[in-house]
Homo-oligomer: A and B are copies of this chain.
Amino acid sequence: MNLMPLVSADVALFCVERGALKVLLVQRARAPEQGEWALPGAVLKPELDQNLEATALRALRDKVSVEVGHLEQVATVSGPARDPRGYSVAVLFYALLPRDQVTAIVKSRIEAVEWDLASQPARALAFDHDELLSKAVALLRDKVERHALPLHLLPERFTLTELQRICEAVLGRSLDKGVFRRRLRDSPDLQEVPGELVRGSQRPAQVYRAAGGFRF
């Protein structure tokens, strides 16, 4: 038997705020890299975590008091130098936070938290988290580019225009309304909701929700 490395799960938690894709950063309260900003994460505790997804969920619960219903695995990085504590293995996930839960997160817990621009963070990140963040953003964009709908970024009920704005924020470019709606027309992931939603002085918009068991 040989010395086993530190295994942990890190999470890029995304939201869309004011038209931009943001990622949640935490300021580390303890060494190593104390005071530096990083993606939230936790060390795997075999006696506590059923698997690494559970570790990731626990990290979000403990550090920012958030419960998310889904996780996407992005990649696993490893090596002797990426963490000063020694040889380490980190499994990276991302999760999406609905728009109506974004404000709830900031006023929680001991460590300072902050939403930073996902595609070009203002903060320099500890460890190799810059690289991890890039991978997570790339995977999310790739999925949306391939017509997956990031419905987890929206509240339970939403309009097609809201959905389009979210996709635009994720992709970092504007989409054509006609093309967007044409594709959604036959999407099995969306369901009309009979009730409508009126906003200000304009034509009311149809409300939709995610279809049961949709795949992201």
Q: Which residues of A contact B (CB under 8 A)?
A: 2-7, 43-47, 50-52, 73, 75-80, 86-87, 89, 91
Contact between A76 and B91, CB atoms less than 8 A apart: yes
Pairs A-B, 10 closest by C-beta atoms: A4-B4, A46-B87, A52-B78, A51-B78, A51-B79, A76-B76, A76-B91, A5-B46, A2-B45, A7-B89
Give this chain's copy count.
2
> Given A52-B89, A89-B52, A89-B89, A44 and B79 touching (CB < 8 A)?
no
Residue of B nearest to A49 (CB): B78
Question: Nearest-CB distance from A47 to chain B (Å)?
Answer: 7
> Given A46-B5, A46-B87, A87-B46, A75 and B73 touching (CB < 8 A)?
yes
